[in-house]
């Protein structure tokens, strides 16, 4: 059986919260330059700044509510 090659079609990138803010901002900038139509969700810990350029910024509580709502 022959498997098809993976495509480079993405709908969403999620940028985690562990890297320093400058690194996360650079990641979002790079993603926007290379995948301009793909949405970016940046996670951020409580009391930390949002990531500039991301389409969505969410803390952990907001993410859990969004997932619960989407899967209800």
Would you say residue 46 lies in a domain? yes
Would you say residue 28 lies in a domain? yes
Among 21, 35, 29, 17, residue whose Cα is nearest residue 53: 29
- Number of structural domains, the chain? 1
Would you say residue 49 lies in a domain? yes
Would you place residue 8 in the very low, low, confident or very high pLDDT band (cuts 50, 70, 90)? Answer: low
Average pLDDT for residues 8-26, to the nearest whole number? 90
CA distance 48 to 60: 12
pLDDT at 9: 84
Contact 22, 36 (CB under 8 A): no
Q: Which residue has the tokens 């690194």?
A: 23
Would you say residue 50 lies in a domain? yes
Residue 44, domain extent: 22-71
pLDDT at 47: 82
In this predicted model, what pLDDT tens digit does every residue of 18-68 receive, in sequence order? 889 999 999 999 999 999 999 999 998 888 889 999 999 999 888 889 888
In our burial notation (b when 16+ CB lie closer than 10 A, e otherwise), range 4-31 reads: eeeeeeeeebebebeeeeeebbebbeeb
């Amino acid at each position: 059986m022959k498997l098809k090659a993976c495509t480079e079609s993405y709908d969403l990138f999620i940028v985690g919260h562990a890297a320093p803010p400058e690194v996360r901002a650079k990641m979002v900038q790079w993603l926007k330059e290379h995948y301009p139509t793909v949405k970016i969700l940046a996670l951020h810990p409580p009391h930390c700044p949002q990531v500039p350029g991301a389409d969505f910024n969410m803390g952990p509580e907001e993410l859990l509510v969004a997932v619960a709502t989407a899967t209800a």
